[in-house]
Structure 1
Amino acid sequence: MTNDMSIADYLAEGGKLSSPDNAPPLYRAELMRMMSSFVDSELAGSAGFAAAINWAPGIAERIAASRIVLEKADHAERVLDLMGDFGTDTALYNRAHSWAARLDRDAVVDTRRMGGDMRLSVFHYPFEDWTDAVVMNVLMGLATVIQLEEMTHASYTPYAEVIRSVLPREKRHMELGLEGLKKLAATDEGRGAAQKAVAYWHPRVAETFGPAVSERFARLSRFGLRHSENEALRTRWRADAGSVLEDCGLKTPVAA
């Protein structure tokens, strides 16, 4: 960066930051919000799947669920360590919210986050049973892969590097879910239960990409923290999810 170029101009032209030292206040705030959303979602996801372990129909499924629980907590810790560089009290963070807490199944959740709890809205909804957990894991797993691929290009290099390191494991979480979904969909009864779960989770996962028109995206784009608009990511997810569901003999719900 040249002496006559501002940090904002540097970032707008594709520059990268490697420490909190030169981060402008608004950039810091947006980056912290982004990292908090990741950490809170991973902690809530881990806590949610912990309850599903005992629903697993076999040892292989139990191991898969346990792996997801462990690795999501590990991913949260990695990004939380980065937040510590900005002054976050990492020792207290885990006690900030009840990560296993869920709302009613029919609750209307504000996608703009809730009371300091920055988890994505989908992680406020509870699982009903094993099939429910598997379907959610597949649909949200596909969304997570797309959303994290976007983050691998973030202008804050330490964050992008952590996301690149956890992305293969998040892909594997989705694949483990898909293995389970194919088993469930192999029978008429299982396919019917899975289709019911798809109808419930599909629109809720779609909401995690945010509004189609977002003033915040424009700001994040200028900072180099985001590059693809929300609707472009959601459209990609709809296509990926549709293909996966079709392969399992399941139908994609009609968008409202």
Structure 2
Amino acid sequence: MKIEEYLAQGGKLTSPGNVPPRYRGELLRLMASFVDSELAGAAGFADTINDAPGIKNRIAAAKITQEKLDHAGRVLGVMGEFGGDMAAYDRSHDWAARMDRDADLSAARHGDDMRLSVFHYPLQGYVDAVVLNVLMGLATVVQLDEMKRVSYAPLADTFREIAPREARHVELGLNGLRQIIESDDGRAQVQDAIAYWMPKVDATFGQSASQRFDTQARFGLRHTTNDKLRELWAQRVNDLLLPMGLA
């Protein structure tokens, strides 16, 4: 049986030694995007820890930052099994670097790392960080539900370990959001932040017609289309925010 037929039928690969070259390239790209996004996300979120009101909120922000770094490290460990100096990789980019807040980056990659475009935009204070944490956290949960099915078994196992903690990050963000919207001013700030971040998080799901998706689907690295994942995310956002009176 050809490798693509085996993978298309739900087959799994378990070690770098039985991974064909094209599959290896797509797998490493997938892992690099996750690692770089977690590192860049943690670097941006770390700056807001001291902006959080009260010790409990600062602890929550610190926990999210620490666990995102841990998640990056876990996937980086899987990448390291394919060779290369992962310590040097970690040091090779400025994860805190950001572009102009009004830049139009769409879904394209920018700079020399593989972070999702949303992590090129700077945060402006605690409210901004909480809103991004909720919106992007929900996107990450949806994307991890997809990645838990990836055909490279060690990576699928790692994503299954990570997924519950990413879901908990959303819960922590929602707790912060409920506190903020208790005041009219806080609610107005949240609405402004939602309007700013929604299209940027939406862009992380990629284009509707994607040749990369078709390639990764043949290898069992993807199963659900970008549009379907985007639809699932938008529905979860509405289900959580509309009962709070947020549009």
Report the TM-score when normalising by structure 2: 0.98
Question: How many residues are paired up?
Answer: 247
Q: Which amino acid aligns with 1:180?
A: G
Identify which of 141, 150, 153 aligns with 1:154: 150
The residue that corresponds to 1:123 in the other structure is 119
Report the TM-score when normalising by structure 1: 0.95
Offset at 1:213?
1.0
The residue that corresponds to 1:254 in the other structure is none
Give the conservation status (yes or no) of the 8 Å contact 1:185–1:249: no
Offset at 1:66?
0.2
Identify which of 84, 95, 101 aligns with 1:99: 95
The residue that corresponds to 1:50 in the other structure is 46
Give the conservation status (yes or no) of the 8 Å contact 2:14–2:154: yes
Cα-Cα RMSD: 0.9
Offset at 1:110?
4.9
Identify which of 220, 223, 230 aligns with 1:224: 220
Q: Is 1:169 equivalent to 2:168 in the alignment?
A: no
The residue that corresponds to 1:23 in the other structure is 19
Identify which of 124, 138, 151 aligns with 1:142: 138
Structure 1 distance, partners of 2:246, 2:181, is 8
Unpaired stretches in structure 2, ≥5 consecutive residues = none
Offset at 1:199?
0.4
Deviations 1:101-132 (A, max 9, x none): 11111012252312431011100001111100
SS at match of 1:94: helix
The residue that corresponds to 1:33 in the other structure is 29
Identity within the alignment, %:
58
Structure 2 distance, partners of 1:250, 1:126, is 23
The residue that corresponds to 2:186 in the other structure is 190
Q: Which amino acid aligns with 1:44?
A: A
Greater CA drift, 221-230 or 239-248: 239-248
The residue that corresponds to 1:113 in the other structure is 109
Deviations 1:28-86 (A, max 9, x none): 00000000000000001111110010100111110000001100000001100111111
Structure 2 distance, partners of 1:247, 1:20, is 47
Give 4+ residue runs of structure 1 displaced > 2 Å after superposition.
none
Q: Which amino acid aligns with 2:120?
A: H
SS at match of 1:87: coil
